[in-house]
Amino acid sequence: MDEEWFWMQLEQKYGQVSLHLKNILRLQSLCRQSLANLTEERIGHIEHDMRSMAECLTEEANAGGTPLREIYGLQFAKNPERFRFLAGEVMCLLDLAQIMRDHSATSFIRPLKKAKACLSQHPEPVANPCIDRLLDNLRRKITLHIRSLTSRNDLMEKVHKMAAKVYLTNAGQYKATIICPFCEAKPSKITLSMDVTGSWHIFGFKRHYNTFHSSLPDSMAEPVIKRSKNDTKKESNGKIC
């Protein structure tokens, strides 16, 4: 199911839903018709799941993944192992479940013609309003990584001009292909994936950079002028020609 379309339809009927609630439902694979089966008891099970996932999600956040505040909310971002839904959040989740029960499942599925365009045999660029945001997030993450490694403006300029595109696979997963901005003789194409929380994984790019470009100097070095022994002797005697 197209999650962007799913949330657009659901929020039209309910109103805006907090980002961290969306991410939790995404982690639980509930951005679909099965959300209709949500009950207070099952919400308790989700709370338990989120507490047990705290260590894993914290490690991922520290590695550049989705910030914990976008998963656990501001109240529990610093203590995810103690996570629980607030009373209002429980009411919100139950209301969303009721909306799903009150409407046909097809109400939350993108019309067939557009779905076929996304599920073509060969991946195509994503044709929906989130494409620019997804690309911006990817470029920002790669830019921050390179900036942490070098202060060279010429290298940062190459990153800004980096060719990249996002597409939706047949399995419904967002992926991206980028052309390494530092490869000159033979440009390398690198495929990157986005996880269920909406965070780009750029490990493939990091591995490529460390393998082929880690020797790039941090700053442009001045050319070294080689001098003969005779020149050195003349300088030491104060006789510079």
Average pLDDT value over all residues in the chain? 79
Question: Cα 197 from chain centroid?
Answer: 8
DSSP state letters, 165-234: EEEE-TTS-EEEEEE-TT--SSPPEEEEEE-TTSPEE-HHHHHHHHHHTTTS-SSPPPPPPP--HHHHHH
pLDDT higher than 60, residue 126: no
Q: How far is CA 210 from CA 16, 69, 130, 237, in A?
A: 42, 30, 31, 47
pLDDT band at 224, cuts 50/70/90? Answer: very low
Specify the pLDDT at position 61.
85
Higher model confidence: residue 131 or residue 192? Answer: 192
Specify the pLDDT at position 3.
79
- What CA–CA distance (Å, rounded) separates 71 from 21? 7
Tens-place pLDDT, residues 27-52: 888 888 889 999 999 999 999 999 99
Closest CA to 100 of 182, 9, 170: 9
Tens-place pLDDT, residues 155-211: 888 888 899 988 877 666 788 899 999 888 777 889 988 876 778 888 888 888 888
